[in-house]
A = this chain, B = another copy of it.
């Protein structure tokens, strides 16, 4: 994984895990890698990896049990709601950015429809 120099690494790794949790690629209740393993996986420092799990816990997406590890929350309702909210803010941020570039919603939708994928 390559990191954006202008954003904290812990935030970028956190976003990555968060997305996997919200989409179910990391199922509720499943165990995440240990802090030291997570550091190895992403090529970062164990301290930075620990920060990732602390922030995920703050966001109520994980639960940490000392001596056992960190686990994906089993609060399905929270997962679903967060996924929906993230989709909405992503969408509205995108529209705002295009509007600031002077591109209307109609034109945006047109570009989106014709864009190659």
Minimal beta-carbon separation of A66 from chain B (angstroms): 29
Instruction: Check if B83 sits within 8 Å of A90, measured CB to CB.
Output: no
Instruction: Check if A100 sits within 8 Å of B11, measured CB to CB.
Output: no
A98 at interface by CB-CB < 8 Å: yes
Name the prevailing secondary structure of the A interface residues. helix
Copies, count: 2
Question: Can you show 25 pairs from A to B with CB atoms below 8 A apart?
Answer: A6-B8, A6-B11, A7-B7, A19-B100, A19-B101, A23-B100, A23-B101, A24-B102, A83-B101, A87-B98, A87-B101, A87-B111, A90-B94, A90-B97, A90-B98, A90-B101, A91-B108, A91-B112, A91-B115, A94-B94, A95-B112, A95-B115, A95-B117, A105-B117, A109-B113
A59 at interface by CB-CB < 8 Å: no
Minimal beta-carbon separation of A15 from chain B (angstroms): 9
